[in-house]
Every structure is written in C-alpha cells, then in structure tokens.
C-alpha cells in the first residue's frame, strides 16, 4: 500500500533508495519510492535467465566486508557469504605465457609500491592532481598495475581521476560474494517497501515548504525528497529541477562522472573451453602504450561461466555494440587461452550500463581537483527538503553498494 500523503519521496529504488526507505520506516516516516525502471536494485542487478545461472551485471562483491553495512544484513537473511580473496587462484599472463612464480612475486611487489607511492603523494600537502602523475612509472609492471587499479577496478583511467579521492576511496578486503548475487541481496532488502515501478521522474519542483515529483505517473507531493539517480543521469539533465539546483551542487554532479565497466559473460560448458578452475582470475600484462587488456574471472561457485571485464576508455569504445564486445573478448581469450578454447566459449551476455538511460555508466570517480565534490553533493538543500544520495555521495565507500547504503541512510536521517 502506498501512503496517500507521504512524508518523503525517494527517487530511485537502487541500493541508496532502498536504504533510505528502510531508514525512514525505522524513524516512523512514511515514503513512496519512485523507480523509473521495471525492477529494483539499480546498478546491483542479478539475473539467471540469460545464462542459466545467477549473473551479477553490476555490483559483484561486498568490499571491505568487515565494515560493510550489507554484510550483517546478508547474514541476517541467511545468505552464505564466501571470501573470494581466500579462494582466488590469481594468474598473470605476460610475454605470451603465464607468468612464473618470480614474475608474480615481482608484480605483487609493484602493486605494493604503487599504493605506497599513491598514499604518500596524497599526504604530501601539495594540491590535488591526476592520480596518474603520482603513480610509479618506468618499472616493468608499472603500466599494468596502473591499468588494473584505474580502468579495470575504478572504471576510469588514472589520468581522469583525482589523486586525493582515489586514495581516500581505495578499499581493503575481505571481498565477499554470494551465490544469490549482490543484486539478489539488494532485491531481498527491498521486500515490503512502498516502491512504485515504471514511475520515471522527469521534474522535481522543490522549495522551503514541500517537494513535488512529476512524470508519466502524474505528480506526487511530499514534505521532502531524496534523489538517488546516478550522476550520469543528473549530469545529462534527465531530471529537471525547478528552481535550478545551486551552482555548487551542479558543479559537484559534473565533477563526479560515471566510469564504465562492461562484463562479457560466456557459457563455458564445452570440453575445449578454457580450463581455469573455479573462482580463479587472470590478468594480462600491458604490452605497449596503446594496450588496454581485459581481465577474466572463471567459474564462480563452479558455474560454467567465464567473465571478461573491460573497463575505462575501452569499455566506452565498445558501448552500444555487443557484437564488437563479443569479438574483442574472444580475441582476448584467444591470446591468453588459445584459439580452440576461445572458439569453444558460448554466446555471451554483455552488460549495457552505458546505453541504459536510467544509469548512463557504472560508478563514479572524482575528476582532478574535485576531491571535495562528494561532500558537496551530499549536503542537504532547503533545510533538508531536498537531498541527494548514492555511491557518488560517499567519501570513503564511493563506487560501491556500501557507499550507496551509507549515503541513503544518512540522507534519511537529515530529513526534517
């Protein structure tokens, strides 16, 4: 049942919107969640129809799980969580072959040196700058580490990211996964909430007395609103604000663009498919200045899937062209597994976060010089009548479901 005169409108039923709705209910405040799509979860989306087994199109891990608010919620639901780091067989492909033990050791040392250098640079008292300027350069593995930590993990190249924000939002383990998927977890946490699907908001009228959301569903008015749309959607002007948002808020939205991480997930049932064991991962070393390798994860929970990850500029290059994404992933598979194994992979499912007008990308990063933008975007307006929430608003757990959850909860607490 939807309240006829809600206290709060929550725009978006992703992780932040669900967290906000739950927190409002705990405070005894009524709300309606207006979701533009046909499902809940936002960028946490798990489905089994396309590949026959659960597949996380978006969020896949509970990062820094000991401090992650979704970890105890998942356990309270009886969901089994597995430490992927403890089970992962990490492989590195370099120089036309799998790296040997010495090379893997040297690569790990280069990763450690990367973070030592980044953390020191972020604390040296100099103005913010692109993270790429502070990163080690010239070493045998430095370009591979930079590609991995930037495009493949943060969905954007280090040259596009604020050094200070990059250092502040780097997370530790453990990194937990669940057979039900992170999208499955978030969907379960939405059960019983007053969520109206297929209710896309096109305009928000806001002021010091109330807030009205307008769309194809009509208009709904409440005392306050929490907007959890992505910064990609907000920057594109997909939601009009009347009056316009303050310049500082608009600047913060544009300073927190979405990067892109695309997954190309193949069925791997054929006997000739790549022989990597369950939970294994494989990275390919950068071979030259223009090389932007994909990485792989194999057979999570023993399922016959091989998932290629493509991030940053290369992901944007192939966005909207699933045939090209498949071809490039098969070419990567040919390089690291061989032509016969690559040909044995089934037809893939390709994620489409860039093309979807409800998202327009994967998750946010701060551009150089904008290390304070997350706090600005999270600052309530009109004495708390209008707030923004989502992963882009959290200064520590940005780009994760944890950040979205923390942010949604905080926004609910700021409602007058």
pLDDT digits (tens, 9 = 90+) for 90-120: 999 999 999 999 999 999 999 999 999 999 9
pLDDT band at 208 (very low <50, low <70, confident <90, very high): confident
The DSSP string of 219-277 is EEEESEEEE---HHHHHTT-SEEESPPPHHHHHHHHTS-B--EEEEEEE--STTS--PP
Contact status, residue 63 vs residue 15, Cβ threshold 8 Å = no
Last residue of a domain, one of 307, 325, 350: 350
On average, the pLDDT of the chain sits at 97
190 with 168, same domain: the answer is no
Decide if 27 is inside a domain: yes
286 with 165, same domain: the answer is yes
pLDDT of residue 3: 75
Phi and psi angles of residue 90, each rounded to the nearest 5 degrees, phi first: -85, 125
Residue 299: pLDDT above 80?
yes
Decide if 283 is inside a domain: yes
Decide if 69 is inside a domain: no
pLDDT, tens digit (0-9, with 9 covering 90-100), for 374-410 = 999 999 999 999 999 999 999 999 999 999 999 999 9
Of residues 208 and 160, which shows the higher confidence score? 160
Residue 298: pLDDT above 70?
yes
Residue 376 CA to residue 372 CA, distance in Å, equals 7
Contact status, residue 398 vs residue 392, Cβ threshold 8 Å = yes
228 with 97, same domain: the answer is no
28 with 104, same domain: the answer is no
Q: How many domains does the chain have?
A: 2
Cβ contacts of residue 344 below 8 Å, gap of 6+?
268, 270, 271, 272, 273, 274
Decide if 67 is inside a domain: no
213 with 108, same domain: the answer is no
pLDDT, tens digit (0-9, with 9 covering 90-100), for 138-189 = 999 999 999 999 999 999 999 999 999 999 999 999 999 999 999 999 999 9
pLDDT of residue 2: 75
Last residue of a domain, one of 318, 350, 382: 350
190, two tokens: 């939405």
283 with 386, same domain: the answer is no
pLDDT, tens digit (0-9, with 9 covering 90-100), for 324-365 = 999 999 999 999 999 999 999 999 999 999 999 999 999 999
Find tokens 């597949």 and name the residue: 55
103 with 236, same domain: the answer is no
268 with 166, same domain: the answer is yes
385, two tokens: 């009548």
Task: State whether residue 35 is helix, strand or coil.
Answer: coil
Axis crossing angle, helix 182-189 with helix 15-26, rounded to the nearest 10 = 30
Which residues lie across from 266 on neighbouring strands? 306
Domain containing 232: what range? 8-50+180-255+364-414
Residue 133 CA to residue 32 CA, distance in Å, equals 46
163 with 268, same domain: the answer is yes
What torsion, rounded to 10 degrees, do the Cα atoms 180, 186, 189, 193 define? -130
Last residue of a domain, one of 315, 350, 385: 350
Phi and psi angles of residue 227, each rounded to the nearest 5 degrees, phi first: -100, 120
Residue 249: pLDDT above 80?
yes
Domain with residue 323: its CATH number is 3.90.660
Residue 359 CA to residue 189 CA, distance in Å, equals 21
Cβ contacts of residue 144 below 8 Å, gap of 6+?
94, 107, 110, 283, 285, 286, 293
340 with 368, same domain: the answer is no
- What DSSP element (H or E) covers 147? helix 142-147
Overall average pLDDT of the 279-287 stretch: 97
Residue 281 CA to residue 300 CA, distance in Å, equals 10
Residue 72 CA to residue 331 CA, distance in Å, equals 41
41 with 147, same domain: the answer is no
The whole-model pTM stands at 0.97
Domain with residue 223: its CATH number is 3.50.50.60
pLDDT of residue 1: 62
277 with 316, same domain: the answer is yes
Residue 302 CA to residue 32 CA, distance in Å, equals 40
Decide if 56 is inside a domain: no
């Amino acid at each position: 049942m939807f309240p006829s005169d809600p206290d709060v409108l929550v725009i978006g039923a992703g992780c932040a919107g669900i967290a906000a709705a739950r927190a409002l209910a705990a405070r005894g405040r009524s709300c309606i969640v207006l979701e533009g799509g046909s499902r809940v979860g936002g960028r946490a989306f798990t489905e089994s129809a396309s590949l026959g087994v659960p597949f996380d199109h978006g969020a896949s891990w509970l990062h820094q799980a000991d401090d992650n608010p979704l970890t105890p919620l998942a356990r309270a639901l009886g969901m089994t969580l597995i430490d992927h780091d403890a089970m992962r067989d990490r492989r590195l492909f370099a120089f036309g072959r799998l790296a040997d033990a010495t090379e893997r050791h040297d690569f790990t040392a280069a990763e450690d040196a990367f973070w030592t250098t980044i953390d020191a640079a972020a604390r040296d008292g100099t103005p913010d700058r692109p993270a790429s300027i502070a990163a080690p350069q010239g070493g045998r593995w430095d370009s591979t580490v930079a590609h991995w930590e930037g495009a493949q993990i943060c969905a954007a190249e280090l040259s596009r990211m604020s050094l200070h924000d990059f250092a502040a939002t780097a997370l530790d383990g453990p990194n937990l996964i669940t057979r039900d998927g992170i999208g499955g977890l978030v969907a379960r946490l939405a059960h019983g909430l007053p969520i109206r699907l297929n209710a896309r908001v096109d305009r928000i009228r806001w002021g010091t007395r109330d807030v009205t959301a307008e769309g194809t569903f009509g208009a709904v008015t409440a005392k306050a609103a929490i907007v959890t749309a992505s910064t990609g959607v907000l920057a594109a002007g997909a939601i009009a604000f009347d009056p316009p948002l303050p310049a500082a808020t608009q600047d913060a939205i544009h300073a927190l663009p979405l990067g892109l991480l695309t997954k190309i997930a193949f069925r791997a049932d054929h006997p000739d498919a790549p022989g990597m064991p369950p939970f294994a991962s494989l990275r390919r070393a950068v071979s030259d200045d223009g090389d932007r390798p994909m990485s792989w994860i194999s057979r999570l929970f023993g399922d016959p899937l091989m998932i290629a990850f493509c991030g940053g500029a290369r992901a944007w290059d192939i966005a909207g062209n699933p045939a090209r994404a498949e071809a490039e992933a098969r070419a990567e598979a040919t390089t690291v597994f061989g032509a016969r194994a690559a040909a044995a992979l089934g037809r893939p499912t390709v994620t489409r976060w860039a093309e979807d007008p409800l998202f327009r990308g994967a998750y946010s990063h701060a551009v150089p010089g904008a290390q304070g933008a997350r706090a600005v975007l999270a600052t309530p307006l009109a004495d708390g009548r209008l707030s923004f929430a989502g992963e882009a608003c959290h200064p520590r757990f940005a780009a994760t479901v944890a950040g979205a959850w923390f942010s949604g909860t905080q926004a609910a607490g700021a409602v007058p």
